């Protein structure tokens, strides 16, 4: 295992920070999510630099979206306000751009970046602001990162059958199955100690999180492959960039938000 | 006035159809909105053909989004489900695309089309399904089309000062002001006869609708200018294409949805 030392050097304080900030919630969590969103967008805008995203508009979209659930009585309405802001701010970005060549593409990649990073991180914020918020967010993180870890380790030991050779040649069916089983076990364990969700519900939630996490991971691999880079960035020593670390969460968080809101009501 | 005959030939039955279908709501309105969404997306995909949008994914996004508010108890949650579906369906479109060159751009224009057409039309559907739905939707249509008409006529008679010469040389400050005054008057008149909204509230709503409608009109002009076409299509004789007719509504509907949901609670 390459870079194991530096990987742990980042992972352990990273997990501690995540636990503390998810526990604290509120402005502390919003601040961390804003940092992740903006740094992730820097990486995405560099992957899509050829299409010249409108950087200020993208930044404003994701920051607004993440911060909005802190205000107002209805988190879901705040999330919708963020979605409307994403298209309107990007449109104003296009209308006020000095260079108008290919402005439709510029607006499109700006909207895409806003939705890809802003919506999931805003949904994590909204989930934390809801009832049992800390437990609900912890569940998403546990499920996503357990899937990631078990799939990676399981794949290294028993992996034989490529599952998506074109996009991510190292991923295997065996790894994905072990990841799913491991993540379900972790989420069930976490869920059993928190009396807001039943055993069956926590299994449904964990399976949904795993499928989304898997798709999120593949999708980010596709973006990198398209841009012909190996890592989205180098900000997290040995863990690549922000997008490399949060790719699965960008799809699992919105799915978990929806499933949780159906389960809890 | 060019094509006055054929314009009225479309406008009068068009308005009658809109009134009947907004009144009926439910499946009838969803069907009309699906038709508008899909035909609008055909035009948008042809404007952005060079970036090769993933057509089936875009179609699925807008159809899902528009239809979702018919189901479930919470329209705002259904709208969020549509937003999540927009990014996930587009991602799956990218991952399953046969040709992967510039797949990030393909996904981006697909997401953009989904959000630009799907979100506003889904919000109109959700508005109709809410309390006082027919009145709320009628208010948006009256405000948007009154603004459009008064701004056009006022601009022709008194227009002198270009307001956005780079994007839309025929639009004038005088036209916009007359449009605003005319639209506020129409919305107030409509609001006074419907006792779910106060006078001040209907003025606020109308002003918000006008600003958004103006931006929506400019934005679509920018898209056409970028693609170097004059009309987005020719499906509506003398009215150009679907996007030409609904451009203002695509921005005014989401803004009206948010303002209405704040006002009504």
Look at residue A103 and tell me whether its pLDDT is greater than 60.
Answer: yes
CA distance B86 to chain A (A): 9
Look at residue A194 and tell me whether its pLDDT is greater than 80.
Answer: no
Question: Which residues share a beta bridge with A162?
Answer: A172
Which chain B residues are closer than 8 Å to A107 by Cβ? 112
**Contact (Cβ atoms closer than 8 angstroms) between residue B92 and residue B107:** no
Local confidence band at A193 (pLDDT 50, 70, 90 cut-offs): low
A28 or B230: which leads in pLDDT: A28
Residue A222, chain B, CB below 8 Å: the answer is yes
Q: Is B16 exposed, middle or buried (0-12, 13-18, 19+ CB in 10 A)?
A: exposed
Local confidence band at B102 (pLDDT 50, 70, 90 cut-offs): very high
Least confident of A59-68, B3-12, B179-188: B3-12
**Residue B9, pLDDT score:** 78
Least confident of A8-12, A93-97, B117-121, B161-165: A8-12
Closest CA to A43 of A240, A249, A242: A242
Closest CA to A60 of A117, A21, A22, A104: A117
- In this prediction the ipTM stands at 0.94
What's phi and psi for A74, nearest 5 deg?
-115, 105
Look at residue B180 and tell me whether its pLDDT is greater than 70.
Answer: yes
**Residue A192, pLDDT score:** 62
Selecting from B51, B119, B258 the residue whose C-beta is nearest the C-beta of A105 gives: B51
Local confidence band at B197 (pLDDT 50, 70, 90 cut-offs): confident
**Residue A237, pLDDT score:** 60
Which residues 141-200 of B are in CB contact (within 8 Å) with A? Answer: 164, 166-167
Half-sphere exposure of B220 (CA within 13 A, CB side): 27
Cβ contact (<8 Å) for A104 and B77? no
SS (H, E, C) A12-54: HHHHHHHHHHHHHCHHHHHHHHHHHHHHHHHHHHHHCHHHCCC
Question: How many CB atoms sit inside 10 A of residue B26's CB?
Answer: 13
Comparing alpha-carbon positions, the chain A residue that sits nearest to B221 is A95
**Residue A240, pLDDT score:** 77
Cβ contact (<8 Å) for A76 and B81? no
Least confident of A88-97, A215-224, B101-110, B187-196: B187-196
**Residue A41, pLDDT score:** 97
Which residues 48-87 of B are in CB contact (within 8 Å) with A? Answer: 48, 51, 74, 76-77, 79-81, 83-84, 86-87
Comparing alpha-carbon positions, the chain A residue that sits nearest to B78 is A258
**Residue B61, pLDDT score:** 98
What's phi and psi for B153, nearest 5 deg?
-65, -45
Selecting from B92, B105, B123 the residue whose C-beta is nearest the C-beta of A51 gives: B105
Closest CA to A29 of A118, A125, A123, A120: A125
The mean of the pLDDT values for chain A is: 92
Selecting from B81, B108, B254 the residue whose C-beta is nearest the C-beta of A84 gives: B254
Which chain A residues are closer than 8 Å to B223 by Cβ? 104
Interface with A, mutate which of B86, B108, B261 (most A CBs under 10 A)? B108
Look at residue B193 and tell me whether its pLDDT is greater than 70.
Answer: no
Selecting from B105, B109, B111 the residue whose C-beta is nearest the C-beta of A115 gives: B111
Look at residue B200 and tell me whether its pLDDT is greater than 70.
Answer: yes
In the DSSP assignment, the letter for residue A236 is B
Look at residue B138 and tell me whether its pLDDT is greater than 60.
Answer: yes
Joined together, the tokens standing for residue A131 give: 């009832």
Residues in chain B: 265
Which chain A residues are closer than 8 Å to B51 by Cβ? 105, 108
Local confidence band at A239 (pLDDT 50, 70, 90 cut-offs): low
Cβ contact (<8 Å) for A112 and B112? yes
Local confidence band at A126 (pLDDT 50, 70, 90 cut-offs): very high
Joined together, the tokens standing for residue B220 give: 């679509």
Look at residue A119 and tell me whether its pLDDT is greater than 80.
Answer: yes
Q: What is the DSSP string of B115-152?
A: IIIIHHHHHHHHHHHSTTHHHHHHHHHHHHHHHHHHHH
B169-180 burial, b for 16+ CB within 10 Å, e for fewer? eebbebbbbbbb
Local confidence band at A3 (pLDDT 50, 70, 90 cut-offs): low
**Residue A195, pLDDT score:** 75
B37 or B169: which leads in pLDDT: B37
Look at residue A1 and tell me whether its pLDDT is greater than 60.
Answer: no
Question: How far are the Cα atoms of A14, B56, B227 from residue A212, in angstroms, in the given order?
Answer: 22, 21, 36
Cβ contact (<8 Å) for A87 and B51? no
Local confidence band at B22 (pLDDT 50, 70, 90 cut-offs): very high
**Contact (Cβ atoms closer than 8 angstroms) between residue B255 and residue B212:** yes
Closest CA to B108 of A84, A90, A13: A90
**Residue B15, pLDDT score:** 85
Which residues 24-53 of A are in CB contact (within 8 Å) with B? Answer: 47-48, 51
Comparing alpha-carbon positions, the chain A residue that sits nearest to B80 is A80
**Sign of the torsion angle spanned by Cα atoms A144, A148, A149, A151:** positive
Interface with A, mutate which of B41, B45, B83, B228 (most A CBs under 10 A)? B83
Closest CA to B202 of B216, B217, B185: B185
Joined together, the tokens standing for residue A137 give: 């967010």
The pLDDT of B152-169, averaged and rounded, is: 92
Least confident of A163-177, B207-221, B237-251: B237-251
CA distance B104 to chain A (A): 6
**Residue B175, pLDDT score:** 96
Look at residue B98 and tell me whether its pLDDT is greater than 80.
Answer: yes
**Residue B13, pLDDT score:** 85
**Residue B2, pLDDT score:** 56
**Residue B265, pLDDT score:** 72
The mean of the pLDDT values for chain B is: 92
Look at residue B237 and tell me whether its pLDDT is greater than 90.
Answer: no
Interface with A, mutate which of B50, B54, B104, B220 (most A CBs under 10 A)? B104
Cβ contact (<8 Å) for A115 and B86? yes
The pLDDT of A198-218, averaged and rounded, is: 95
Least confident of A52-56, B92-96, B130-134, B145-149: B130-134
pTM here?
0.95
Local confidence band at B239 (pLDDT 50, 70, 90 cut-offs): low
SS (H, E, C) A198-223: CHHHHHHHHHHHHHHHHHHHHHHHHH
Local confidence band at A140 (pLDDT 50, 70, 90 cut-offs): very high
Look at residue B4 and tell me whether its pLDDT is greater than 90.
Answer: no
Look at residue B29 and tell me whether its pLDDT is greater than 80.
Answer: yes
Interface with B, mutate which of A92, A112, A229 (most B CBs under 10 A)? A112
Which chain A residues are closer than 8 Å to B95 by Cβ? 164, 167, 215, 218-219, 222
**Residue B48, pLDDT score:** 95
The pLDDT of B111-136, averaged and rounded, is: 95
Joined together, the tokens standing for residue A88 give: 């309107």
Residue B127, chain A, CB below 8 Å: the answer is no
């Amino acid at each position: 295992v390459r870079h194991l030392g530096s990987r742990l050097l980042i992972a352990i304080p990273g997990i501690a920070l995540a636990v503390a900030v998810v526990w604290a919630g509120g402005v502390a969590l919003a601040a961390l999510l804003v940092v992740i969103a903006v740094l992730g967008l820097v990486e995405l805008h560099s992957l899509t630099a050829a299409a010249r995203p409108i950087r200020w508009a993208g930044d404003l979209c994701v920051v607004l979206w993440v911060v909005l659930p802190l205000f107002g009585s209805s988190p879901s309405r705040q999330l919708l306000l963020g979605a409307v802001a994403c298209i309107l701010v990007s449109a104003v970005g296009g209308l006020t751009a000095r260079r108008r060549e290919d402005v439709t593409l510029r607006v499109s990649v700006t909207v895409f970046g806003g939705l890809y990073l802003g919506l999931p991180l805003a949904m994590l914020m909204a989930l934390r602001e809801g009832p049992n918020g800390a437990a609900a967010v912890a569940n998403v993180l546990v499920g996503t990162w357990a899937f990631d870890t078990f799939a990676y380790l399981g794949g290294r030991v028993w992996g034989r059958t490529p599952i998506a050779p074109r996009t991510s040649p190292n991923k295997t069916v065996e790894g994905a199955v072990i990841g799913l089983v491991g993540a379900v076990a972790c989420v069930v364990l976490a869920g059993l100690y928190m009396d807001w969700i039943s055993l069956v519900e926590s299994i449904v939630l964990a399976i949904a999180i795993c499928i989304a996490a898997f798709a999120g991971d593949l999708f980010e691999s596709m973006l990198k492959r398209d841009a012909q880079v190996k890592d989205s960035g180098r900000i997290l020593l040995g863990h690549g960039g922000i997008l490399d670390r949060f790719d699965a969460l960008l799809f699992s968080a919105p799915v978990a938000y929806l499933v949780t809101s159906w389960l809890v009501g």
